[in-house]
Structure 1
Amino acid sequence: MPTPARPTSHQVVVIGGGYAGAVAANRLRMRDDVDVTLVNPRPMFVDRIRLHQVVAGTGEAGVDYGTLLGEGVHLVVDDVTCLDTAARAVRLSSGRALGYDYVVYAVGSTGATPPTVPGAAELAHCIAEWEPAQRLRARLAELPSDAPIIVVGAGLTGIETASELAEQGRRVTLVCGGVLAPSVAARARRSVAGWLSRHRVAVLEAAVVAEVRSDAVVLADGTVHPSALTIWAAGFGVPGLATASGLRTDELGRLRTDETLTSVDDTRIVAAGDAAAPSGLPLRMSAQAAAPLGAQAADTVLSRIAGTEPAEIDLGFVGSCVSLGRSAGVRQLARKDDTPVDFSFGGRAGAAYKELTCKLGVWKIRREARRPGSLLWAKGGRRAGRTPSDLRADTSP
């Protein structure tokens, strides 16, 4: 009796192995006729929300993919140079080409220094990726303990970086383009400001950097602040792969998609994470959004394979956390539309909660590897039941 023919497999290439890409790769295994290839430039997963710890030497961020990816996910360590949509191939810097039926575009985000600030790109250190964080850690080790350090950017990443260094007794100045911690409510902001003050972090609010020098930072008002090391944590960019591949993007370079995360140019390309711009209105760049968006992208691909209509995004935020060194932190609660409410808690409880959320980010990927389709997330956010035109008109944060 002849052996039954194996069903035709569907080739899915996931580009990027961060929070969104790793979840998507694992979740795609819900069907046994899907062959999943994950392409990533590094042989290990980078737990990016710990990179400020890497810089300070208080933690590590590299995780072996062997502990994260489910059986059957093929890892290719390489850089993607182009999405050749005509040939339906992902072209790699090694010269290889991976054919695909579908692509999950999860290239993530990068650090960005403004080209309008002289010296920023050449002299300031970014913290958003693995390699710059390693270089920054090595540079810090060379500095005297009393050397002045300036951190530019008073969002959560800048605050966490400044806090780690200040807790070690470093002389830190934090430059805010506007107000300190703009994404949290007033109570949480006061808690953060109090911790920074107690640890002698000089906070410069409403300060604009005009120039970065090798030994100083010059502000727009002409004041010069000595700096043996300048860390830039004020903004993010995205890789230019979508633009280089001729796909439509938003002004930052994020792939433009509909509300199912499908590219507006090609139904075989589905985006996830920081590099996606659904309806031209991307969600906040965050690990909190990345994992659900990775799951959503996988579900969209699986729906298209099954011939069913993919679901639209329904993602609700629950708040944010910021660590203040290793012994304190602040947990800010938020409405599902990501606007903060007037409730937060801090101190050691805040630190414990932040550490828990960090561990959960990796744990969710591992659980999806063991049980594809198991990831759940908060729903009922601003995107639920909204049309693309509604979303474009929405001006809420």
Structure 2
Amino acid sequence: MSQNTEVVVVGGGYAGVMAANRLTARDGVTVTLVNPRPDFVHRVRLHQLVGGSDDAVVEYREVLAGGVRLVVDTVTRIDAAGRGLELASGGTVGYDYLVYAVGSGSADPRVPGAAEFAYPIATLEEAERLRSGLDDVPATAPVTVVGAGPTGIETAAELAEAGRAVTLVCGGVLGPYLHTRGRRSVARRLAQLGVTVVDGSGTKVTAMTRDAVRLADGRELPSAVTVWTAGFGVPDLAARSGLTTDAVGRLLTDETLTSVDDPRIVAAGDSAAPSDLPLRMSCQAAMPLGARAADTVLSRIDGERPSPLNQVFAGQCISLGRRAGIFQFAHRHDVALWFHIDGRPGAKLKEFVCQGIVKHLAEEAHKPGTYRLHRVSGGGKRQELLRAGRGEAPATAERAAA
């Protein structure tokens, strides 16, 4: 092993910051974080930025270890053979190991008119643009939110609570992740806020104009501002760099989060596709994946075999304005249970989670190695799914393990 090991983390979101902080635990390891912004974006609060109750930004000095060198720039290409990164500024950064944590952004809607007239909300810049767009229209102007996942629900509730006339277009079911009981609770709260929920068959958006949204069933909804929250996409950096990706563009890895192309490249967060069976895009997955990626790098530096992924989920929490929310509990393999906490307690629990995210990152910055959630057992469901994907019968796998 060389006297000093250079580890570069690309992406300063939940996964990247967790990985960078954790890597500072080791003497002889120099950590560099490359990120296009000088501040940390608290993405789970972007809907609050739009509604005006939070700026969704945290200074890196609050969540990033002092020993991490921050380079504010954008990586345009990974030169895996030369172990280097090309930057938008024209510079380069070399590495011994690379943590690929570029995160996710808005999915390409591929709906006529969407590129010109829709407002996505997956990044800080998009949320700021949406807020400006809302300021440009009367408070009584109709607002349409497309997509009824957590981001769509939270944005619709936030804007309705602020007095906006909001229609939420589901394109199918309201809150697909939610249990039926949780879905009913969310629907009641949205109704209380005055949100018009358009769900069921025929509600996919087929086209949009400057002042209207057209649905598959032929309906046309008036809309002065249309917010697009339907799905996420990932940056194409890995594909542009000649690395193997899944169909969406996430870096394909093994169960230790190591690239299938290069043992010096490890992925984490929304941009990782371990065994082509990626986890749900969320900060709940991103931070444990960041910790796991750091542990994999440290194991490889030591010449040890890295431990495989072991992910556990608690559920999904959704804010419904500032005075209500829901925490939908789930099996540890990420399937919703009947049990949920809603109303004011749900709002308090959601806020506790949001504050806890920053707290976890700050604690890892001040004392790297303290984070442990990535080591909590997620059960055997993932291995069962992996065996099924390989066409391997459970009994065969059990005999092989015996």
Which amino acid is 2:229 matched to? A
- d(CA) in 2 for partners of 1:56 and 1:341? 30
More off after superposition, 264-273 vs 92-101: 92-101
The answer for the alignment partner of 1:350 in structure 2 is 346
Identify the residue that residue 196 of structure 1 maps to in structure 2. Answer: 190
- Secondary structure of the residue aligned to 1:373 is coil
- Inter-CA distance 354–221: structure 2 relative to 1 (3 Å threshold): same
Q: Say whether the 8 Å CA contact 1:383–1:391 is kept in structure 2.
A: no
Match of 2:42 among 39, 47, 55: 47
| Pair 1:391–1:26, CA change in 2 (3 A) | farther
Measured on the aligned residues, the alpha-carbon RMSD in Å equals 1.5
The answer for unaligned runs of 5 or more in structure 1 is 1-5
Task: Give distance in 1, aligned partners of 2:4 and 2:389.
Answer: 36
Question: Contact conserved, 1:281 with 1:391, CA < 8 A, in 2?
Answer: no
Asked whether 1:162 is paired with 2:156, we answer yes
Q: Is 2:167 the counterpart of 1:173? A: yes
1:185 is displaced (CA, Å) by: 0.5
1:84 corresponds to: 79
Q: Distance in 2 between matches of 1:119 and 1:168?
A: 27
For 1:296, the equivalent position in structure 2 comes to 292
1:4-15 matches, cutoff 5 A: 8-15=3-10
1:114 correspondence with 2:109: yes
1:186 aligns with 2:154: no
Q: Is the 8 A contact 2:364 2:370 kept in 1?
A: yes
Shift of residue 380 of structure 1? 2.2
Aligned partner of 1:268: which letter?
R
Rate the CA distance shift 1:273–1:328 in 2: closer, same or farther, 3 A.
Answer: same
Q: Does 1:95 align with 2:90?
A: yes
Q: In the alignment, which residue of structure 2 is the partner of 1:380?
A: 378
Q: 1:146 touches 1:171 (CA, 8 Å); kept in 2?
A: yes
Percent identity over the alignment? 57
**Retained in 1: the 8 A contact 2:109–2:230?**
no
Residues 227/322 of structure 1: CA separation in 2 closer, same or farther (3 Å cut): same
**1:304-339 residue CA offsets vs partner (Å, 9 max, x unmatched):** 000000000001101111100000001111010001
Structure 2 CA distance for aligned equivalents of residues 366 and 383 of structure 1: 32
Q: How does 1:1-397 map to 2 (within 5 A)?
A: 8-115=3-110, 117-206=111-200, 207-377=203-373, 378-382=376-380, 388-390=386-388
Contact in 1 for aligned 2:256/2:293 (Cα 8 Å): yes
Q: Which amino acid aligns with 1:155?
A: G
Tell me the distance in 2 between the aligned counterparts of 1:169 and 1:350. 22
In the alignment, the residues of structure 2 paired with residue 257 and residue 286 of structure 1 have an alpha-carbon distance, to the nearest angstrom, of 18
Q: CA deviation at 1:142?
A: 1.9
Equivalences, count: 388
SS in 2 for 1:121: helix
1:179 is matched by which residue type in structure 2? V
Shift of 1:178: 1.2
TM-score (ref. length: structure 2):
0.94
- 1:392 Cα deviation from its structure 2 partner: 5.9
User: Could you give the per-residue CA deviations for residues 235-294 of structure 1, whole angstroms, max 9, x where no partner exists?
Assistant: 000000000000010111000000000000000000000000000010000000000000
1:106 and 1:18 map into 2 onto residues whose CA distance is: 8
Amino acid at match of 2:80: T
4+ residue runs over 3 A deviation: 381-394
Secondary structure of the corresponding residue to residue 277 of structure 1: strand
C-alpha distance 101-383 of structure 1, shift in aligned 2 (>3 A): farther
Structure 2 stretches lacking a partner, 5+ long: 393-402
CA distance in 2, matches of 1:138, 1:381: 45
Q: Give the drift of 1:381.
A: 3.8
**Offset from partner CA, 1:147-177 (integer Å, 9 cap, x none):** 0000000011100000000111110000011
* Partner residue, 1:3: none
How far apart, in 2, do the equivalents of 1:387 and 1:144 lie? 50
Q: 1:385 to 1:343 in 2, by over 3 A?
A: same
Displacement of 1:388 in angstroms is: 4.2
**Paired letter, 1:60:** D
Deviations 1:346-381 (A, max 9, x none): 111000000000011111110001111111214224
Per-residue CA deviation, residues 20-48 of structure 1 (Å, 9 max, x unaligned), is 00000000012111000000000000000
Change (3 A) 1:26 1:224: same
1:30 is paired with a residue of what secondary structure?
coil
Do the aligned partners of 2:144 and 2:223 also contact (CA within 8 Å) in 1? yes
CA distance in 1, matches of 2:101, 2:211: 37
Cα distance, 1:365–1:132 mapped onto 2, change above 3 Å? same
